Amino acid sequence: MTFGEKLAKAVAAHGPLCVGIDPHPSLLDAWGLSRTVEGLERFALTAVEAFGGEVSVVKPQAAFFEAYGSRGVAVLERVIADLRGSGTLVLVDAKRGDIGSTMSAYAEAYLSDGSPLAGDAVTVSPFLGFGSLQPALDAARATGRGVFVLALTSNPEGAEVQRAVAPDGRTVAQTIIDFATARNSGISPCGDVGLVVGATIGETDVDLAGFNGPILAPGFGAQGGSVADLKRLFGPDMRNVFPTSSRDVLKHGPDVSSLVSAVRRVRESL
């Protein structure tokens, strides 16, 4: 199946919610776990048990695993394998971006069949130029995976670049959206190039009307994003919008049943 077909199937079964696995040190503390690889593994696998088969997409944040070195990356590999084994789509939040052979190596790591770090999609940064992402775009298309390209992020510093105006009068964010729109053109039910647009950015000031791809909307829940914000930003037709909640759900751990109940409450609110 194409990535768009996989997403459509997942949403039909579980709705559009994406839940993050963010083993932030403060959350390890809150769960009564040590800030060690052992604590990381316990946290991550508990989240996998709760989220696998409950939501359409799970998004492990790679940085919190990489912080523990090779043993932490090994935990991330197991998280990816276990979630995919449960039939849950995995979006690896790694925000990779580079040029030439280096970007090709990132694509090999996160988008190639057989790589232990390859989920079903990966987040990428286009701020070395959208064309620098070509190796990742090609690898995703060849293997039925997806890429989610940063477009309008919720951090205040992002506006310095994303809302800057290019010589043709478009904002940088609009340029990214237009490139992604062209890449997805003619693909049904939606393309394999997604966008990351924060749920707490205020106003988008961009044209998303012709975009035929999934939109990841982080910041829903604990960071302040609401259903009303989603409707205001994306309009009433949000079939390809994936609100993302991490801390708002993870704060209910370490009890698995409490995590499952939290996921179901958030899912029903959507």
Q: Which of 16, 78, 92 is nearest to 43 (CA)?
A: 78
Q: Where are the domains of the chain?
A: 3-269
Asked if 251 is an active-site residue, the reply is: no
Give the pLDDT of residue 236.
Answer: 66
Q: Higher-confidence residue: 201 or 119?
A: 119
The model's pLDDT over 162-221, given as tens digits with 9 standing for 90+, comes to 999 999 999 999 999 999 999 999 999 999 999 999 887 777 788 888 899 999 999 876
Q: Is the pLDDT of residue 108 over 80?
A: yes
Give the pLDDT of residue 14.
Answer: 95
Give the pLDDT of residue 223.
Answer: 62
Taking residues 114-126, what's their average pLDDT?
98
The model's pTM: 0.95
Q: Is the pLDDT of residue 151 over 90?
A: yes
Using CB atoms within 10 A of its CB, is residue 155 exposed (0-12), middle (13-18) or buried (19+)?
exposed
Give the pLDDT of residue 269.
Answer: 86
What architecture (CATH level 2) is domain 3-269? Alpha-Beta Barrel (3.20)
Q: What's the chain's average pLDDT?
A: 94
Is 163:172 a contact under the CB 8 Å cutoff? yes
Residue 207 belongs to what H/E stretch?
A: none
The catalytic residue among 6, 9, 59, 95 is: 95
